[in-house]
Structure 1
Amino acid sequence: MGIISFQGARSKTKKQDESPIKVSDYMSRDLITFSPNQSVMEVIETLVKYKISGGPVVDDSNRLLGIISEGDCIKQLNESRYYNMPIDDATVEKFMVKDVETIDGNVNIFDAANKFIETKRRRFPILEDGKLVGQISQKDVMKAALKLNSQNWWEK
């Protein structure tokens, strides 16, 4: 009598030459962006209306200048109250984060997940030729995990 295997049927593993699952496969391309001369109040209205936590700030050529977030807006609200200054004069350029870390669209989604863990960031813009083409968020990585079956996710 031969050996009986209790491992069951095994699924075929992906060939090594197949392209990895890239950030560009899961990034958001239809982004809400802000301009540096927009008022912080406009940003707050947009964040609330679209239920987002922040967005990229770009110039007229779609070059990334910074990121503005809920936290940046809250800081402005707090400062305007503390110093008794009108918030109407506050512009995005004064309160956006200018030192923005980006991620390459060709990076493997699993490496992007590690970068989220290491940096504690919520989102990374993706640039091509210096222009904003998309954004990957922690939620996008979780969506990727749901689309992949558990075996494929862990075998990468």
Structure 2
Amino acid sequence: MKNSLKAKDIMTTDVKVVKKDATIADVAKMLIHDKIGGLPVVDDDNRVIGIISETDILKKEKYVEPPLAINLLQGIILLDDMKRLEKDLKNIAAYKVEDMMTTKIVKVNEEDSFDDVANIMIKKSINRVPVVDENDVIKGIICRYDIIRALYDDKNE
């Protein structure tokens, strides 16, 4: 019955994590390869210290200025250097996770009830929540998919 489910019953335990000194290029590759939207950031003791998500990366990307150009007789004339754009993109890829991660995050304990976890995610409009033990060590992660699966998967009845 769903009322008796706990965070540890619905979480994904094979959690991909990243350290704060990883580059954004490394994170982007992990997100693409694993088809996920974000990763918990952990310290050397596997304690959760933040989250880095595709949204964090996109927020930084929006500050890249495209080169100025004009359209003249159906041709594009660049008024600015494409090398600058390339340099801006390389700089963003070299950023460290700690420069872009979200540090004010919501975490839940592995013993928290399913209802509490679902309500937190809905009220705070968050897509994923790390599941930790009493020492803040990561034990799993719960995404919206896990909530839906717990609600509608017959195996949880």
TM over 0.5: yes
Deviation track 1:57-110 (CA, whole Å, cap 9, x = no partner) reads: 01111011100000111122223x239632243110000001111112222212
**Total equivalences in the alignment:** 133
Q: Which moved more, 1:141-150 or 1:47-56?
A: 141-150
Report the secondary structure of 1:98's partner residue. Answer: coil
Answering whether residue 130 of structure 2 is matched by residue 146 of structure 1, we say no
Answering whether residue 27 of structure 2 is matched by residue 43 of structure 1, we say yes
Find the aligned partners of 2:93 and 2:142 in 1 and give their Cα distance.
31
Change in Cα spacing, 1:88 to 1:120, as seen in structure 2 (3 Å) is closer
Report the secondary structure of 2:17's partner residue. Answer: coil
Q: How does 1:55-70 map to 2 (within 5 A)?
A: 55-70=39-54
Report the secondary structure of 2:26's partner residue. Answer: helix
What TM-score do the two structures reach when normalised by structure 2? 0.76
Q: How many percent identity over aligned positions?
A: 28
Mapped contact 2:110–2:139 kept (Cα < 8 A): no
Report the secondary structure of 2:57's partner residue. Answer: helix
Change in Cα spacing, 1:148 to 1:113, as seen in structure 2 (3 Å) is farther
| Counterpart position of 2:113 | 108
Residue 144 (structure 1) shift: 0.7
Runs of 4+ in 1 over 3 A off after TM superposition: 82-85
Deviation track 1:38-71 (CA, whole Å, cap 9, x = no partner) reads: 1111111110111000010011110111000001
Residue 127 (structure 1) shift: 1.1
What TM-score do the two structures reach when normalised by structure 1? 0.77
Larger RCO (alpha carbons 8 Å, 6+ apart): 2
Deviation track 1:106-150 (CA, whole Å, cap 9, x = no partner) reads: 222122222221111111111112211111111101111122489
Report the secondary structure of 1:44's partner residue. Answer: helix
In structure 2, the gaps of 5 or more residues are: 66-83
